[in-house]
Every structure is written in C-alpha cells, then in structure tokens.
A and B are shown apart, each in its own frame.
Chain A
Amino acid sequence: MKAGDELAPLEIPITRTLIVAGAVASRDYQDVHHDAEIAREKGSPDIFMNILTTNGLVGRYITDHFGPTARLRSVRIRLGAPNYPGDIMTLTGTVTAVEGEVAEVRVTGANGLGNHVTGTVRVAVPGRAGGES
C-alpha cells in the first residue's frame, strides 16, 4: 500500500431499513432517524441516517479494503448532505499517506444531493508496511 492508491468504490443503497437498523444498533432513538412525520415537522423531507451509522459504514469500507488484519486507529468525519431513503451513497477513498503499517485514507461518501460525508481514517494493517502493494 502506498500514497495515491485508490480504493474500489462501494455503493450503499440508503433504505429505510438501513437508516432505522443503524440508528437502533447505535442506540440512537432521535425521532428524525425513524419517524418520517416528525422529521418533516422538524424541517427535513424525510428521515435521515444518523452520524453513528455513517461512522460505522466508513469504518467498514476501510476494513473491507485492507482485509482481515486491518484495525481502525482513528475515524474523523464531517457530514454534509443528508442520506435520505431512496438515495445511494457511493464511498470512495484515496490513500494519502503511509507510515510503517499505518495508512491514512481520505474518504468521501457522495449521494444524489452532494457529499454526505468527508473524512480521514487511519488504519493499521500489520504485515503491510509502506511500499508493498
């Protein structure tokens, strides 16, 4: 692995089931993540994905790519356009730096409205020091 490596994109269909399952699995019972009527009253067109689910999906995208030995060291994300039901989020990533067995990856998750998430993940990949592919 080396700086400049691009990760294969991952398309994630944004379903109501994913939004609600992610919210519940993360213990987040904010109504805007499961109750469409209340979400509308609060100014959203629909329910939307919570940040913990986005965080989990970004983590999964990275470890899917780097394999069974990969361990997340840090995940830093910023949210933009919400993930509403019916949309598709496409995660893409580029390795921006490699130090020993730790890679830093710039991640973007784009949906039909724009960038849902941008962030940086550091991941340790034992046995995959910099320079090896």
Chain B
Amino acid sequence: MNEADFLGRLKKFEGQPAATAGVGKDLVNEPMIRHWCEAMGDTHPAYTGPDAIAPPTMLQAWTMGGLSGHGDGTGRTSGYEELFELLDGAGFTSVVATDCEQEYVRDLRPGDRVSYDAVIETVSERKTTKLGTGHFVTTRMDVSVDGELAGTHRFRILKYAPAQRSSPGKGPGRAEGREAEQAPLRALRPRPVINRDNAGFWAGIAEHRLLIQRCEECAELRFPWLPGCNACGSGRWDTVGASGSGTVFSYVVMHHPPFPAFDPPYAVGLIELAEGVRIISNVVGVAADEVRIGMPVRLEFRRVDDELELPVFRAEVA
C-alpha cells in the first residue's frame, strides 16, 4: 500500500469515537491523591484535609487503564484499537506523548466517579522527527461526574517507527544520565533495499567496484540499476566498472530537517560519472558550502558502520 492510500485509511478514523461512556476504574480517592502529591513534591494545602480536591492535573490519571489495561467498562472503542493496529502493522510500533491540553471546569473530590467520552480528532500525515517517522494522533476527551462536565483533555501522541541506533558495547547497567548525553548513541544510516534487480550493484560495492549496467543489445549504459533497457527495452545486460572519475552535475546542501544518522550541513551531489551516467551520493573532502557545479570528484568507498559501505565522491583539489 502506498503512502497516500495508507493516509487515506488513517484519515477515515478522524471524528470516530476513541472511548464511549468509559468509567474510571477507581473513585477519586484520597490515597491516589496523596501518592500523586508525594511523587510530584506538591504540598498545596487544597489537596489535603477533609475538604480536599484532587490536583486538577490528575484529570487523565482517573481515566487510565493501569496495569490491567483498557478492558471491559473502560469504553475504549474498537475504532481506536483498529487505528493502533493499522499503525502497528505498518511498523509504527512505538508511542510517545507530545501534547496535553487540559481545561478544568469543576473540582474533583474524593468519592467522585468519573466517566469519559473521547473522539479521535486528527491523524496527521507522515512526519519525520528525531525519534523516528510516524503519525501524530490527537484525541479529545470530556471527563464528567454525574453527567456534569469536570474537564476536557486533549492529548497528542506520536506513533512511530524508532530510528535505528547503534549500541556498541553497551549492556545493561552502564551509561546513565549525563554520561549518556555526552556520548549519545548514534543512529545508523538507512539500510539499502537489496533485491534481484539491484543485488549486483551491492555485490560490486562490497568489492569496491561501482558497476554500471550495459545493455547487451544496444550497449546503452544505465544507472541506477533497472531490469530493462530504457533505450531498446531489452532485458539482457552486463556491467562495466566505473573508472571513478566524475563531476558535480548538481547538488543540494541539507540543513534541515535533521535525520538521526546524518550530521547537517552536508552536501548531496548528483555526480555525472565519466561514463556519462549520474549517481546521487555524498560529496566529501570539502565544506558543504564550497561544493560547486562542475567540481571534479573521485569515487571512494566509505564504511559508515559495521555493516554498511557506501560509494561517496571526494572533491579533487585543483
């Protein structure tokens, strides 16, 4: 399924209920209020004593599924589950909350039984963040007591596929806190998708050869690799090794957005090889803002991590 079709399926969930007539698992109660205040270090006098109110910021806590999850009585709809299954199935398996907007209409007091209804407001198009790529899902919940609105709770989460990180030599119990910040785990470059149509190209890279396809019928060179000839349609081909010399045909300098495995600014060049075909790759050995069209470059191979080697092009200094 392509991205547009997938987005279309996601968009169908907008406006659908996420929870209907859910009921809080616990009455608003003094022990949970006290535990909350202890955790937060909150000593506000309104939250203790015979006339105590619950800290308003606990609004969502009264609606949580807890360890036993959102089973019977919590009002969680099948639509909400289906949306999550759809996102999980597409690889967006991780979840992180990004926004919470709460309005407090009426105090909650020990003994109150909250009920709630929620609607899926929006599902975003695909977004790439520092964490990874995914979709934002925004829900809005109305929390009531005895049919009277107590508060509203708008919540946005990101369902995402985590960006890959390397973890060299890091087992449990080491890098913590500040140390982890100073030596952040480095994300890996995306893996190439290797299939029958391009396996020969990657086999060449492994041997430090940049192979260009050549049509056996008309001798037309082609790159990137394709099953058939653009010129005559023949499916028969062999390869020639690139000499390694080329020039910058065009380029962009990437500043934003940052992707976890890349360190902006960096130059992405469209390199015209001496053989006449063009390849997209990094231009190295020169500051990103000094890359110029027509600049002579030479092929080299760069090991970017334990498992991946890539062809890059080094600027040839005049």
A32, A56, A70, A77 pick with most chain B CB within 10 angstroms:
A56
When distances are taken between beta carbons in the complex, the residues of chain B under 8 Å from A112 are 178, 181
How close is A106's CB to chain B, nearest CB, in angstroms? 14
Cβ-neighbour of B185 out of A25, A45, A60 (below 8 A) = A45
Complex Cα distance A79/B100, Å? 9
Cβ-neighbour of A59 out of B38, B55, B95, B179 (below 8 A) = B55
Complex Cα distance A37/B165, Å? 14
Q: Does B44 contact A (CB under 8 A)?
A: yes
When distances are taken between beta carbons in the complex, the residues of chain A under 8 Å from B64 are 26-28
When distances are taken between beta carbons in the complex, the residues of chain A under 8 Å from B100 are 51-52, 55, 75-77
Cβ-neighbour of B104 out of A24, A40, A46, A72 (below 8 A) = A72
Q: Is the CB of B42 within 8 A of A56?
A: yes
When distances are taken between beta carbons in the complex, the residues of chain A under 8 Å from B56 are 59, 71-72, 75
When distances are taken between beta carbons in the complex, the residues of chain B under 8 Å from A108 are none
Give the interface segment out of B139-147, B169-177, B223-231, B281-289.
B169-177
Q: Is the CB of B102 within 8 A of A60?
A: no
Given A21-B38, A56-B42, A68-B44, A43:B57 Cβ within 8 A: no
Given A75-B100, A79-B99, A59:B45 Cβ within 8 A: no
Q: Is the CB of B176 within 8 A of A22?
A: no
Complex Cα distance A42/B246, Å? 41
Q: Is the CB of A71 within 8 A of B46?
A: yes
Complex Cα distance A30/B67, Å? 9
Q: Does A87 contact B (CB under 8 A)?
A: yes
When distances are taken between beta carbons in the complex, the residues of chain B under 8 Å from A57 are 40-41
**How many interface residues does B have (CB within 8 Å)?**
51
Q: Is the CB of B177 within 8 A of A76?
A: no
B124-156 vs A, CB cutoff 8 Å, 1 = contact: the mask equals 000000011000000000000000000000000
Cβ-neighbour of A60 out of B44, B107, B170, B177 (below 8 A) = B44
Complex Cα distance A26/B172, Å? 26
When distances are taken between beta carbons in the complex, the residues of chain A under 8 Å from B104 are 71-74
How close is B172's CB to chain A, nearest CB, in angstroms? 6
When distances are taken between beta carbons in the complex, the residues of chain B under 8 Å from A70 are 44
B58, B65, B95 pick with most chain A CB within 10 angstroms:
B58
Q: Is the CB of B176 within 8 A of A85?
A: yes
Q: Does B1 contact A (CB under 8 A)?
A: no
How close is A28's CB to chain B, nearest CB, in angstroms? 6
Complex Cα distance A26/B94, Å? 20
Given A25-B61, A26-B61, A113:B42 Cβ within 8 A: no
When distances are taken between beta carbons in the complex, the residues of chain B under 8 Å from A75 are 56-57, 100-102
A52-68 vs B, CB cutoff 8 Å, 1 = contact: the mask equals 11011111100110001
B36-74 vs A, CB cutoff 8 Å, 1 = contact: the mask equals 101111101110000000011110110011110000000
16 A-B pairs besides A63-B44, A71-B104, A72-B57 with CB distance below 8 A are A12-B41, A22-B40, A25-B36, A27-B65, A32-B96, A40-B170, A43-B94, A56-B55, A57-B41, A59-B40, A59-B42, A60-B44, A71-B56, A75-B101, A77-B100, A87-B177
12 A-B pairs whose Cβ atoms sit less than 8 Å apart in the complex:
A12-B41, A25-B32, A26-B60, A46-B180, A56-B36, A56-B39, A59-B57, A68-B46, A74-B102, A84-B177, A86-B178, A86-B181
Q: Which 3 A-B pairs have the closest CB atoms?
A: A86-B177, A43-B162, A27-B64
